Amino acid sequence: MPMLDLPVAGGKLERYTMRAPRSFPKANGKLDRVAIAAAHVVADPLADIDPWLGIAVDWDKTIEYRRHLWKLGLGVAEAMDTAQRGMGMDWPMSLELIRRALDAARDVPGAIIACGAGTDHLAVSPAVTVDQVIAAYEEQCGAIEKLGGRIIMMASRALAAAAKSPDDYHRVYDRILGQLKQPAILHWLGEMFDPALDGYWGFKDHLKAMDVCLAVIEANKAKVDGVKISLLDKDKEIAMRRRLPAGVRMYTGDDFNYAELIEGDAEGHSDALLGIFDAIAPAASAALGRLAAGDSKQFNDILAPTVPLSRHIFKAPTRFYKTGVVFMAYLNGHQDHFVMVGGQQSARSALHLAELFRLADKAGLLADPDLAAARMRTAMATHGVVN
């Protein structure tokens, strides 16, 4: 197996010997969990732009990756934070991404896709109003539904800035959900993912905020398919899951504890809408297939080794997790470069990427060890590590 020198703490290098990859059979038959991957975008590395200011997407590779996810039996959450929404991708480019992904989904029997609608084209300032937030949500939801898309109602930085009390959240969500053609997925994104969302639902205390979110869902349960919470706290997710109205799904957004939350307990389980499923898609598909077959042991045998990798990719500052997701796609040959929209490939250190490589290898997720090693050597060379 390939060997290469990787950096460790203290400015030193250690020789690492790769392991053989695992074989992950694609799930056959119907899964008993809804499993959706929030998908990343592939940048165009040769575009004549200023990378921190302009946006250039390789549309062919970006859509090809969505087809890869659908072939594995996973759904796609489009134009979410994993696609660098608000960290490189603006609303016009996100809408173009949504249009292209919806077009591609029509060619894939049974393809699941839902699309992020937010208010990111509305400038956040002390002067922003709740009425402006409503209008911004209406614009994005209308544009997506015109294309035939189903809505994921993303948390709004502008609403977090404009709201004076929980009543403002009720007003916004009641208004938007009441207009939608299909039931939506709500997304409660915690401040660890986006500091501008601190205090969402009107409270910094997550349990008090949960009460508000649950009241909004109860008032609109016919228009809510489910709620995805991304708080990285399994106990809070389970507590909320047990309080949801009948028929409303809990989509785990917990990239630290997803395996046990998806497996569930005697009182229920979570479905999945996860950024990490982009990076571990073959393992996720295989594990969910075993769970559907009643084999929880194999489910955990496949998925448990991916959790340390996910916790590393999503470590604080959590908002930079997209760098690790794209790096995994690069290592596994889904794109030919490690360049990101907004120059976000620089958001993680050489030490971080080296540990990611080791953890991915230990989980059996590097499908072609020779290719992964060659690409890792290339990446490390940009940091002065010569192999």
Q: pLDDT tens digits for 264-297?
A: 999 999 999 999 999 999 999 999 999 999 999 9
Contact 211, 250 (CB under 8 A): no
The token pair at 56 is 């250039």
CA distance 117 to 329: 25
The angle subtended at Cα 139 by Cα 137 and Cα 144, nearest 5°, is 95
Residue 377: per-residue pLDDT: 98
Query: 135 pLDDT exceeds 80?
Result: yes
Query: 184 pLDDT exceeds 90?
Result: yes
Q: What are the distances in angstroms from CA 160 to CA 117, 156, 185, 196, 373? A: 16, 6, 19, 7, 44
CA distance 179 to 177: 5
Taking residue 53's Cβ as centre, other Cβ atoms within 10 Å add up to 8
The token pair at 110 is 């049974």
| 220 contact partners, CB below 8 Å, separation of at least 6 | 173, 174, 177, 178
- Inter-helix orientation angle 350-362/369-381, to 10°: 170
In tens, the pLDDT along 191-244 reads 999 999 999 999 999 999 999 999 999 999 999 999 999 999 999 999 999 999
Query: 87 pLDDT exceeds 80?
Result: yes
Confidence of residue 109 (pLDDT cuts 50, 70, 90): very high
Per DSSP, the three-state class of 91 is: helix
Residue by residue, DSSP assigns 323-376 as HHHHHHHHHTTSSS----GGGGGGGS-HHHHHHHHHHHHHTT--S-HHHHHHHH
The token pair at 69 is 């996810």
Query: 31 pLDDT exceeds 90?
Result: no
CA distance 200 to 312: 26
Query: 386 pLDDT exceeds 90?
Result: no
Tell me the whole-structure pTM to 2 decimals: 0.96
Domain 24-305 falls in which CATH fold? Answer: TIM Barrel (3.20.20)
Query: 114 pLDDT exceeds 90?
Result: yes
Q: How far apart are the first and last CA of the chain?
A: 15
Query: 25 pLDDT exceeds 90?
Result: no
246 alpha carbon, distance to own chain's centre: 26
Q: Name the one residue in this structure whose structure tokens are 């500091």.
A: 195
- pLDDT, average across residues 354-379: 98
The token pair at 368 is 């072609």
CA distance 60 to 341: 15
| 362 contact partners, CB below 8 Å, separation of at least 6 | 19, 305, 308, 309
CA distance 285 to 167: 41
Query: 157 pLDDT exceeds 80?
Result: yes
Query: Can you give the C-alpha Rg of the chain in angstroms?
Result: 20
Residue 286: per-residue pLDDT: 96
Residue 28: per-residue pLDDT: 74
Backbone angles phi, psi at 155, to 5 degrees: -65, 145
What's the one-letter identity of residue 67? Answer: R
Query: 29 pLDDT exceeds 80?
Result: no
Query: 117 pLDDT exceeds 90?
Result: yes
Backbone angles phi, psi at 10, to 5 degrees: 90, 10
Query: 260 pLDDT exceeds 80?
Result: yes
Which residue intervals of the chain are DSSP H helices? 59-71, 91-105, 130-146, 157-162, 166-179, 206-219, 234-241, 258-263, 276-279, 281-292, 296-303, 306-313, 321-331, 350-362, 369-381
CA distance 289 to 87: 34
- pLDDT, average across residues 2-11: 96
In tens, the pLDDT along 32-82 reads 899 999 999 999 999 999 999 999 999 999 999 999 999 999 999 999 999
What are the boundaries of each domain within the chain?
24-305
CA distance 357 to 355: 5
- pLDDT, average across residues 142-170: 98
